[in-house]
Amino acid sequence: MTTISVPDMMCENCVKRITNALTAAELKFSVSLDTKTVTVDGCDNCVKTAVSELEDLGFTPEVR
């Protein structure tokens, strides 16, 4: 599992947008507004896909 920090995730609407995008990309993940993170369960390619999706949504993801 890989944790991606998303410091500019501010509200439940952000969580919904992220959830919709990563679900459409067929990734296994969890989103936490409290810690402003997305945890991806998958290979390096899955993490790259998640980062790309987050960037496309206008977020600034940082892989931890």
Query: Structure pTM?
Result: 0.93
The pLDDT, as a whole number, for residue 32 is 98
The pLDDT, as a whole number, for residue 33 is 98
The pLDDT, as a whole number, for residue 63 is 97
Domains recognised in the chain with CATH numbers:
2-63 (3.30.70.100)
Q: Is the pLDDT of residue 64 over 90?
A: no
**In the beta sheet, which residues pair with residue 3?**
39
**In the beta sheet, which residues pair with residue 17?**
none
Could you tell me if 53 and 21 are in contact, meaning their C-beta atoms sit under 8 angstroms apart? yes
Tens-digit pLDDT profile for residues 11-54:
999 999 999 999 999 999 999 999 999 999 999 999 999 999 99
